[in-house]
Amino acid sequence: MIADDHRRALVALLGPDNVLWEDGDRVSYESGARFDRGRAALILRPRDTQTVSAAVSYCVKHDIAIVAQGGNTGVVSGSTPDDTGEQVVLSLDRLTQRFELDRENRSLRVDAGFLLSDVNGRLAKHGLQFPIDLGADPRLGGMLSTNTGGSRFLRYGDVRQNVLGITAVLADENGTVLDLMSGLRKNNTGVDWKHIFIGTVGAFGIITECELNLEPLPLQVATALLVPRDGAAVMRLLAAMERQLGSYLSAFEGMSGNAIDAALVHVPSLRNPFSNGETAPYAILAEVSRDWPIREGEQSLDLVLETVLAEIWGSDDAPLADAFVGPPQELWALRHALSEGVKASGRLVGFDLSFRRGDVIRFCDHMKETLPERYPGIRICDFGHICDGGVHFNLVLPAETTFDAAAEQALRAYVYGTAVESFGGSFSAEHGIGRKNQAFYDRYTSDHRRALADGLKQLTSPARLGTVRFGSA
């Protein structure tokens, strides 16, 4: 594990309540969201940027490896320690002091340890939101380090598009604090350095503070559950809705019947949205929203949505087989229950993939034909953000299946190979690179790009930081 003198020194730097080492205290920090489990030497919980800097400086000087951890909601072993017992986990969970709202600038300067739910809970009374909608509840630092997208990417974009500035601590002997904070939305005075730290899973530095762009809370929302006629009709349906609804369209979420069934079993309180009780093979949650209260004489969004769907239904070669406008709370509850429902339904191997928009359904249809031949009894429980090309491609194996680490790696190789080589997609859409994906990063990243990453690593954080190796082996 770690020498007692190192533990005592870190306790002196951070305080006794901010360093954990007993087995029972470490366990939640060692366990990932998708069954991965490691062993940490210590858990460090600094309360501000300066104590992060002091802890990092000490660890670097004594060659102690660091894994930064936000809410630990990732699925690729990007924020959990390995099983050596030699890494310290530096958790952001106590970095929750700073929360400075600038109403005029519509921005928030905030510590990176806040949970997304806490941020939006505080902002709601001001009619504002950080507009990244997720089923999980991560911390801001983890969201920035993986460049999270979410269900309303179509309207608001991803995290990268909503970050104005950051503060990062570099893994060098000084624990250098790099101040890249800014409330500016336009600044072309040189390299925009914050983007080196967004989406790179903490390899180049630990984000401790950020300044976020905020958006008005929608004051009118309507949702519909749509059943496309077939897979080929999905993109025609999306194109028609984008054309007729414009910026009102804020979400277009695809859900396979298998994923819906898993959610309904896992959360019995959910109402089955299908009137005959038979789940459609594939359904889409569409949302439209406005940021202002309904005006006199203005058509309600429910009626707007119904009118547009009726027009699409009545078109030649209509892409819809069924549709109904339903309560937003009920439909979003179903969408947000998918991940945990699938996780609870059996032995799960999950993938976070992205494609050109038109290839999402083509890829899923191809895999539904080929995977059962290789893995009899496998259930494909896919869902995701059709509008941005993302899909959570989840595979549930029969309980009796013998499936060791080598078999899982072979399955990953087949899925990733098909996604990247046959469909030109990405094997990591919004969870970043973790230990589970290291071999595939090495396979699909050119030597030139890895050499550039090596240079950035040496420039920013040359010490042992994070779980991923962006450079050469």
**Cα(59)–Cα(464) distance, integer angstroms:** 9
Whether residue 412 has pLDDT greater than 80 = yes
Kindly state whether residues 114 and 135 are assigned to the same domain: yes
Under a CB-based contact definition with an 8 Å cutoff, are residues 198 and 235 in contact?
no
- Compare 403 and 409 and report the one with higher pLDDT: 409
Mean pLDDT of the chain: 93
The reply to whether 76 falls in a domain is yes
* CATH number, residue 108: 3.30.465.10
What integer is the mean pLDDT of 314-327?
91
Order of strands across the sheet with 320-326? 320-326, 220-228, 282-290, 249-256, 379-385, 390-397, 347-354
The confidence score (pLDDT) of residue 352 equals 92
Name the H helices within 171-276: 194-197, 234-245, 257-266
Kindly state whether residues 266 and 323 are assigned to the same domain: yes
Regarding beta strands 87-91 and 66-69, do their DSSP bridges make them parallel or antiparallel, or are they unpaired? parallel
Count of domains for the chain: 4
Kindly state whether residues 208 and 136 are assigned to the same domain: yes
DSSP annotation of 428 reads: B
Report residue 469 as tokens. Answer: 């190796």
What integer is the mean pLDDT of 43-52?
97
User: CB neighbours (10 Å) of residue 305?
Assistant: 22
The reply to whether 314 falls in a domain is yes
| Interval 157-206: pLDDT, tens | 999 999 999 999 999 999 999 999 999 999 999 999 999 999 999 999 99
The reply to whether 249 falls in a domain is yes
Last-in-domain residue among 151, 184, 216: 216
Beta strands in 247-358 (DSSP E): 249-256, 282-290, 320-326, 347-354
| Interval 81-113: pLDDT, tens | 999 999 999 999 999 999 999 999 999 999 999
Share of the chain above pLDDT 90, in %: 82
Residue type, 352: D
Kindly state whether residues 234 and 336 are assigned to the same domain: yes
The confidence score (pLDDT) of residue 33 equals 72
Query: pTM for the complete prediction?
Result: 0.93
249 - beta bridge partners? 288
What integer is the mean pLDDT of 258-265?
96
Last-in-domain residue among 70, 91, 112: 91
**Cα(203)–Cα(205) distance, integer angstroms:** 6
Kindly state whether residues 105 and 179 are assigned to the same domain: yes
The confidence score (pLDDT) of residue 473 equals 57
The reply to whether 28 falls in a domain is yes
Residue type, 456: L
The confidence score (pLDDT) of residue 312 equals 94
Kindly state whether residues 316 and 405 are assigned to the same domain: no
The confidence score (pLDDT) of residue 404 equals 84
Kindly state whether residues 85 and 42 are assigned to the same domain: yes
Kindly state whether residues 355 and 264 are assigned to the same domain: no
Last-in-domain residue among 216, 242, 266: 216
| Interval 133-152: pLDDT, tens | 988 899 999 999 999 998 99
The reply to whether 225 falls in a domain is yes
The reply to whether 444 falls in a domain is no
Kindly state whether residues 117 and 178 are assigned to the same domain: yes
**Could you list the residue range(s) of the whole structural domain that residue 121 is in?**
99-216
What integer is the mean pLDDT of 38-44?
94
Kindly state whether residues 253 and 303 are assigned to the same domain: yes
Residue with token string 């990405």: 426
∠100-103-106 over CA atoms, to 5°? Answer: 95
The confidence score (pLDDT) of residue 60 equals 97
Kindly state whether residues 321 and 353 are assigned to the same domain: no
100 - beta bridge partners? 109
Report residue 152 as tokens. Answer: 């309303």
**Cα(281)–Cα(286) distance, integer angstroms:** 17
Kindly state whether residues 62 and 32 are assigned to the same domain: yes
The reply to whether 437 falls in a domain is no
Regarding beta strands 215-216 and 249-256, do their DSSP bridges make them parallel or antiparallel, or are they unpaired? unpaired
Whether residue 418 has pLDDT greater than 60 = yes
Cα 90 versus chain centre, distance: 20
Residue with token string 């804020």: 250
* CATH number, residue 406: 3.30.70.2740
* CATH number, residue 234: 3.30.70.2190
Whether residue 119 has pLDDT greater than 60 = yes
The reply to whether 473 falls in a domain is no
| Interval 272-285: pLDDT, tens | 998 778 899 999 99
